[in-house]
Chain A
C-alpha cells in the first residue's frame, strides 16, 4: 500500500506561500487597523482602552444638518459621511465610464482582430510602461490653465480666455482615473468575450436574431462574468484613491482617501482615520455583496461553465 497524502493537504501546500504572504502582509495590518480604530489618540500617546468613540463620532447626530449637493447630513462631524457618499458616487461613475470604454475595445480585440491579438494586448499595456504618477501629471498638463487643451483651443481661435473648469475639480479626478483604469478593465472583458464559442453566435443568427438582439441575448450575458470582474476591479480601488485627487482634484475634488490620509498624517488622529477606513471598507464590501446578490452571480457562474 502506498500511503497517499490527502488532496486537500497537497492543495494547501501549494497555496501556502500565498496564504503566508496574505496573512503577514494583509490580515495582520488589517487586524492592527481594526484594533487601532477602537483606541484613542491622546496628544502623542495612544490610549489603548477599548472605546467606540471613533465610530460614534462618525454618526453623532446634530440638530443643524449640513447640506451637500442638496442632501442634508444631520451630523456633528459630517465630513467623512459626505466624502464617503461622494467617493462612492464618483467611483460608480468612473466604473460605468470605464466599462463603456473598455467593452468596445475588448469586443474589437476578441471578434475583429485575427492573428495579432498578442500585439494588440501589448499595445494596450504601453501606458503602463510609465509610472502612474507621470500619467497623472500628464493629465495635469493636458487639463491645466495653460495646458494642452486650453492653449490648443486658444491657438485655434475657438477660445479667447482659457477654460478654468478643466482642472482641480471632481471631473478632472474622474477623467484621470478612467484613463488609468480602462486598460485594466479591457483584459478580463476580452478574456470572457474571447472564450465565447463562435457557434453560439452563429446559432443565434440561425435562429433569427438580428445583430443587436444577438448581442443583447447571447454575447452580453456570456461575457457578464468578465465584465462584472472588470467593474469590481475598477470600483473597489478607486473609492479609496487619494493620489489622483491630491494632484488634480483641488479642494472640490477631495475624496475619502484624502481625509484618511489627513487624519493619519496631518491631524495626528490615527484611531479616527482607522475608523473611517474600516467604515469605508465595510461599506464597499456591503455594496459589492448586494450588487452580486442582485445580479445572481452564483447563477451566472454556474452557467458560464
Chain B
C-alpha cells in the first residue's frame, strides 16, 4: 500500500479501442512520484496511446486514470496537470524561442516579471540562455528538443510526458541528451513518463520500465531487474540479446530444475513450484556464456558446438555457434582484454555457463 499512497499516476484497468482493435488492453499500474518511468515496446504496442490518454488527447474506452488522486475522466487536455514533449517537438514556427517557452504561462495569471524570470530560468535549465530571440527555424534538432523541454517544464507540471523525444536525433547527440535528460529529471524532481522503442535508451534512463506488447503490459521492473530477470520470453527477447533453449522439465530438486532440451540436459535455478513435463525455456545472455576448446569441468552447464561466424565489435567479440539439434545458433559475447586465446571460425568449441546464471521462463 505504501506504493499506492505515493503514486502520482494510477492507471486502473484501462483499455482503448480503435474500432474492434484494442490499442491498449486492460492495463493497470501506478507511477511513483518523482520517478523516471519508461513505457517500452515495439511500434504499435500501445505505449503512445497510453501516453496520449495520460495527456488527455485520447479518452480510455474502459477503466480510469487518476493523476494526483484526481480522476481524469472528463478533464480536457488543457486542464490537466501534465505537459508533453512531442516527438516532432512541435515548436511553434511563428514564435521565437522565448515566446515558445513562455506560451503555457500566458494561460496563467502571472505577472510580467514572474513570467519573464521563469522563462529565463527554464532556458537556463536546458542550457539555452541567450537563445531567447532566435526564430524556431534557426534551431538545430538538439536545440529544438531543449526548447520543447523548457516549454513543458516552465509550466511546472506534476507529470512530464515525453513521446520518443530523442528519436529524431543522431546517435551521438542522442546519447548526450540522454545524460542531460536524466540529470534534468533529478534536478527538477518532476515525474517523467518516457515513451520509447529503444530498449537501450530505456535501460539507461529509467528508474522503472514497463514493457508493453500488443496493448498489454508484460513486466514492470527496474532496469537491471528487467535485464537479469525477465518474466517471459517476449521481454527476454525484446531487452538485449537472449539465447533460448526450448525444453521440458525433467526433474525438480532443491531450488533447481533440470530441463531436457534437444541440445542436452541443463540445470537452472527456480524456486516456484513447477511440475515435471512442463514445456519451458531456458534463457541465457550472450555475455554470460564462455567458450573453450577443452572439455569443461563438471558442475557447469555445457554444450558442444561449432563456431560459424564471429564479429569484432571493438570492445568485445561476438561469436555465433551452431549447436546440433537447435535451429538458431547461440550468440556468445566475449570481452576483449587481449589475454584470451583466439578461437577460429569453423572450430569445435564447448559453450559453458554456471547454472545460476540461466533463467527459467515458463511463458
Contact = CB atoms under 8 A, between A and B. Distances in A.
Interface stretch (A128-136, A207-215, A249-257): A207-215
Interface of B: 55, 57, 76-79, 82-84, 86-88, 90, 92-94, 103-104, 107-108, 135-137, 151-152, 155
Contacts, number: 68
A200 B135 contact: no
A206 B57 CA distance: 9
B92 A203 contact: yes
B265 to A, nearest CB: 55
Contact of B90 (A202, A210, A213): A202
A197 interface: yes
Interface string A286-305: 00000000000000101111
20 contacts: A197-B88, A199-B88, A199-B90, A202-B84, A202-B86, A202-B90, A203-B86, A205-B57, A205-B76, A205-B77, A206-B77, A206-B83, A207-B103, A207-B104, A207-B151, A207-B152, A217-B103, A302-B137, A303-B94, A303-B137
B93 A303 contact: yes
Contact of B78 (A209, A222, A304): A209
A216 to B, nearest CB: 12
A303 B84 contact: no
A217 B93 CA distance: 12
Given A207-B83, A208-B107, A303-B136, A200 B78 contact: no
Given A202-B57, A209-B78, A222 B93 contact: yes
A213 B104 CA distance: 12
Contacts of B83: 206-207
A53 interface: no
Given A207-B78, A207-B104, A221-B94, 19 more contacts: A197-B88, A199-B87, A202-B77, A202-B84, A202-B90, A203-B151, A204-B92, A206-B77, A206-B82, A206-B84, A206-B152, A207-B103, A208-B104, A218-B92, A302-B135, A303-B93, A303-B137, A304-B93, A304-B94
Contact of A209 (B86, B107, B135, B136): B107
A200 B136 contact: no
A207 B155 contact: yes
A217 B150 CA distance: 19
A206 B55 contact: yes
Contacts of A217: 103
A280 B268 CA distance: 93
B78 A300 contact: no
A303 B138 CA distance: 10
Nearest to A218: B92
Contacts of A197: 88, 90
A172 to B, nearest CB: 40
Contacts of B93: 200, 222, 303-305
A197 B94 CA distance: 13
Contacts of B87: 199
Q: What are the 9 closest A-B residue pairs judged by CB atoms, nearest first?
A: A208-B107, A207-B104, A203-B90, A199-B90, A303-B94, A221-B94, A205-B77, A206-B84, A199-B86
A46 B159 CA distance: 82
Contacts of A222: 93-94
A202 to B, nearest CB: 6
Nearest to A208: B107
A207 B91 CA distance: 12
Nearest to B84: A206
Contacts of A202: 57, 77, 84, 86, 90
Contact of B137 (A199, A200, A207, A305): A305
Most A CB contacts (10 A, CB to CB) among B57, B83, B92, B136 go to B92
Most B CB contacts (10 A, CB to CB) among A206, A303, A305 go to A206
B65 to A, nearest CB: 16
Interface in A84-139: none
A210 B79 CA distance: 9
Nearest to B137: A305
A227 to B, nearest CB: 13
Contacts of A303: 93-94, 135-137
A197 B77 CA distance: 18
B139 to A, nearest CB: 12
Contacts of A304: 93-94
Given A222-B94, A303-B94, A303-B137, A205 B86 contact: no
